[in-house]
């Protein structure tokens, strides 16, 4: 039975269970809800939970395990001679699976009868033509062995499917019977149901942890695989980045890291002065009207998707900078070869980070107690002296935290550098030259038709790992500083 049908059936069973258990609870209390321990709906929900939870858990587990078990059992049948010629068990298996799925599709669409699909003595060209007609393209020739394997694959899956249906439905019915038998006026249905709901809430809360675990595991496993193919010392310390998919790539991370840090530096040089000064002005000088007008407008910059900034860098800022610093530019210097450069990406990223720096610093400056300002004014200091000598030093740790958070944003930013920074990995000091970053290379190594098992693709995972570790470190450190600072004045 297909999974969708099974799910529908389970839901129907749960509904029936709900109605029956509710009725039984009411009957056991003589129709008077006051004699029940819980509200009648809780008895119904209790039965529905007993129908659904065990059966769904088993079903989920089954769906994960079935392909693995069938794969293992069919794999044992693969004769070694058909694997020999430059192929692998995995490839043969995927052929088998594709053929089996194709046969299923053909039977499903009526292009082939179930007996035909089971028969071993078929014309192979025929099989290919029929499968082609239902939209399953096969490789050149269908091997007898592969066909036989596909058929045994289908037979095993059919058995598995039947056993699955029986077990899942059996569990559901057993669950219902158990819940139904326990349903009486004294049964504490609400407590059971609430415990189940609490369990669901806990599971939802742990998804955050699961995500982190997922990130870390997927990075670590692939990174380990990469380091088995490529020496770690070369990755971390080589200054040459030249991947070539034919093999013999040099995958040194340093030029990428340098590009990342350089662009982030330019971005921070733009964002920090502007962001910090606007935050100071808006929180210390501006009247309520100016504040109400300028603050949301500045924050609008933070709501614009990064792809917009990327396009802005590529099509507007890049050509604009070239018209000044490029060949035949207004300044008469030939510093810039093309529109994509560290400067382009850094400038635009700086614009993106302005609201980030300004709103964080705004919060922090506002958290400095008014009494400190009043004390300074009382001593005769002007506003700017108060800000420079009292407010800013008091807010400094928080502002450093904000800048670090902005730096972590800049390091992890992708779209602006993919479009605005260029693709050449180089170690250079000239900010008008194209350079590339860790994020841009993750994108370029993982898009395209590369084989996931090659070092050229796997390097993206170790780059991702590097990125994750750096940004995580920056975040943890920054949050620690900010939190510590906040506590100081609370």
Site for another protein, residues 267 to 296, rule: CB under 8 A: 273-278, 280-282, 284-286, 294
CB of 418 to another protein, least distance (A): 8
Pick 273 or 369: Cβ nearer another protein = 273
Answer yes or no: are the C-beta atoms of 183 and 27 closer than 8 Å.
Answer: no
Residue from the set 304, 379, 396, 423 that interacts with another protein by CB under 8 A = 304
Binding of another protein at residue 68 (CB under 8 A)? no
Residue from the set 300, 331, 333, 396 that interacts with another protein by CB under 8 A = 300
CB of 328 to another protein, least distance (A): 16
CB of 117 to another protein, least distance (A): 23
Longest dimension (CA), the chain: 102
CB of 359 to another protein, least distance (A): 12
**Count of residues binding another protein (CB under 8 A)?**
87
CA distances from 298 to 80, 307, 378 (A): 67, 18, 33
Residue from the set 55, 192, 436, 439 that interacts with another protein by CB under 8 A = 439
Secondary element (H or E) of residue 251? strand 250-251
- Three-class SS state of 326: strand
| Distance in angstroms (rounded) separating the CA atoms of residues 222 and 226 | 6
CB atoms within 10 A of CB 200: 11
Residue from the set 301, 367, 392, 400 that interacts with another protein by CB under 8 A = 301
Reading the block at residue 167, the tokens are 């077990």
CB of 70 to another protein, least distance (A): 14
Pick 19 or 207: Cβ nearer another protein = 207
Write out the binding residues for another protein, residues 159-218 only, by CB under 8 A.
190, 194, 197-198, 200-202, 204-209, 211-212, 214-215, 218
| Distance in angstroms (rounded) separating the CA atoms of residues 142 and 131 | 11
Pick 119 or 199: Cβ nearer another protein = 199
CB of 280 to another protein, least distance (A): 6
Binding of another protein at residue 365 (CB under 8 A)? no
Pick 208 or 429: Cβ nearer another protein = 208
Reading the block at residue 46, the tokens are 């209790």
Pick 182 or 190: Cβ nearer another protein = 190
Reading the block at residue 125, the tokens are 């060209």
Write out the binding residues for another protein, residues 372-391 only, by CB under 8 A.
382-385, 387-388
Answer yes or no: are the C-beta atoms of 408 and 482 closer than 8 Å.
Answer: no
Write out the binding residues for another protein, residues 398-437 only, by CB under 8 A.
405, 408-409, 411-415, 418-419
Answer yes or no: are the C-beta atoms of 323 and 333 closer than 8 Å.
Answer: no
Binding of another protein at residue 396 (CB under 8 A)? no
CB of 305 to another protein, least distance (A): 3
CB of 411 to another protein, least distance (A): 7
Write out the binding residues for another protein, residues 306-345 only, by CB under 8 A.
306-308, 310-312, 314-316
CB of 381 to another protein, least distance (A): 9
Answer yes or no: are the C-beta atoms of 28 and 38 closer than 8 Å.
Answer: no
Q: Measure CA 262 to chain center.
A: 27
Binding of another protein at residue 264 (CB under 8 A)? no
Nearest to 256 by CA among 271, 243, 273, 246: 243
| Distance in angstroms (rounded) separating the CA atoms of residues 442 and 251 | 12
Binding of another protein at residue 66 (CB under 8 A)? no
| Distance in angstroms (rounded) separating the CA atoms of residues 476 and 489 | 21
Binding of another protein at residue 72 (CB under 8 A)? no
Is 268 buried (19+), middle (13-18) or exposed (0-12) by CB count in 10 A? buried
Q: At what angle do helices 144-182 and 3-28 cross, to 10 degrees?
A: 10
Binding of another protein at residue 89 (CB under 8 A)? no
Binding mask 443-472 for another protein (x = CB under 8 A): x--xxx---x-------xx--x--xx--xx
Write out the binding residues for another protein, residues 125-154 only, by CB under 8 A.
none
Strand spans (E) along 289-395: none
Residues whose CB falls within 8 Å of the CB of residue 142, separated by 6 or more in sequence, listed in order: 99, 124, 127, 128
- Three-class SS state of 250: strand
CB of 296 to another protein, least distance (A): 10
CB of 425 to another protein, least distance (A): 17
Asked whether the CA dihedral 447, 453, 454, 459 is positive or negative, the reply is positive
Residue from the set 379, 479, 484, 488 that interacts with another protein by CB under 8 A = 479
CB atoms within 10 A of CB 382: 10
| Distance in angstroms (rounded) separating the CA atoms of residues 254 and 426 | 9
Write out the binding residues for another protein, residues 213-232 only, by CB under 8 A.
214-215, 218-219, 221-222
């Amino acid at each position: 039975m297909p999974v969708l049908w099974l799910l529908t059936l389970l839901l129907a069973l749960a509904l029936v269970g709900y109605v029956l258990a509710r009725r039984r609870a009411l009957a056991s209390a003589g129709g008077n809800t006051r004699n029940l321990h819980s509200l009648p709906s809780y008895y119904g929900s209790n039965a529905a939970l007993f129908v659904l939870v065990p059966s769904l858990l088993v079903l989920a587990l089954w769906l994960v395990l079935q392909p693995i078990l069938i794969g293992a059992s069919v794999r044992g049948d693969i004769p070694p001679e058909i694997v020999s010629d430059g192929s692998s068990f995995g490839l043969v298996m995927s052929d088998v699976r594709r053929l089996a799925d194709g046969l299923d599709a053909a039977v499903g669409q009526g292009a082939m009868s179930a007996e035909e699909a089971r028969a071993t003595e078929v014309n192979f060209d025929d099989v290919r033509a029929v499968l082609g007609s239902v939209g399953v393209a096969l490789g050149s020739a269908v091997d007898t062995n592969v066909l036989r394997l596909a058929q045994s694959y289908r037979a095993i899956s059919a058995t598995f499917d039947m056993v699955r249906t029986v077990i899942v439905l059996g569990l559901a019915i057993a669950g219902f019977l158990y819940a139904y038998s326990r349903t009486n006026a004294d049964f504490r249905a609400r407590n059971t149901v609430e415990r189940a709901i609490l369990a669901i809430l806990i599971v939802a809360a742990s998804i955050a942890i699961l995500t982190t675990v997922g990130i870390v595991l997927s990075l670590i496993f692939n990174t380990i695989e990469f380091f088995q193919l490529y020496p770690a010392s070369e990755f971390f310390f080589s200054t040459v980045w030249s991947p070539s998919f034919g093999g013999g790539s040099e995958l040194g991370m340093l030029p990428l890291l340098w590009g990342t840090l350089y662009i982030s530096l330019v971005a921070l040089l733009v964002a920090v002065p502007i962001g910090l000064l606007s935050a100071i002005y808006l929180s210390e000088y501006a009247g309520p009207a100016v504040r109400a007008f300028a603050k949301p407008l500045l924050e609008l910059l933070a709501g614009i998707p990064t792809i917009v900034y990327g396009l802005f860098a590529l099509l507007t800022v890049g050509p604009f900078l070239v018209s000044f610093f490029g060949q035949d530019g207004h300044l008469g210097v030939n510093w810039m070869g093309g529109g994509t450069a560290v400067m382009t990406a850094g400038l635009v990223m700086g614009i993106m980070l302005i609201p980030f720096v300004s709103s964080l610093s705004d919060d922090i400056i506002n958290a400095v107690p008014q009494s400190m300002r009043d004390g300074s004014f009382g001593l005769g200091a002007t506003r700017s002296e108060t800000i420079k000598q009292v407010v800013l030093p008091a807010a400094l740790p928080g502002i450093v935290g904000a800048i670090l958070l902005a730096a972590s944003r800049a390091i992890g930013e992708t779209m602006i550098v993919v479009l605005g920074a260029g693709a050449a990995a180089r170690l250079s000091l000239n900010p008008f030259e194209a350079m590339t970053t860790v994020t841009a290379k993750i994108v370029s190594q993982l898009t395209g038709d590369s084989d996931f098992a090659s070092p050229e693709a796997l390097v993206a995972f170790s780059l991702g790992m590097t990125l994750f570790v750096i940004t995580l470190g920056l975040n943890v450190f920054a949050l620690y500083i900010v939190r510590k600072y906040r506590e100081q004045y609370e």
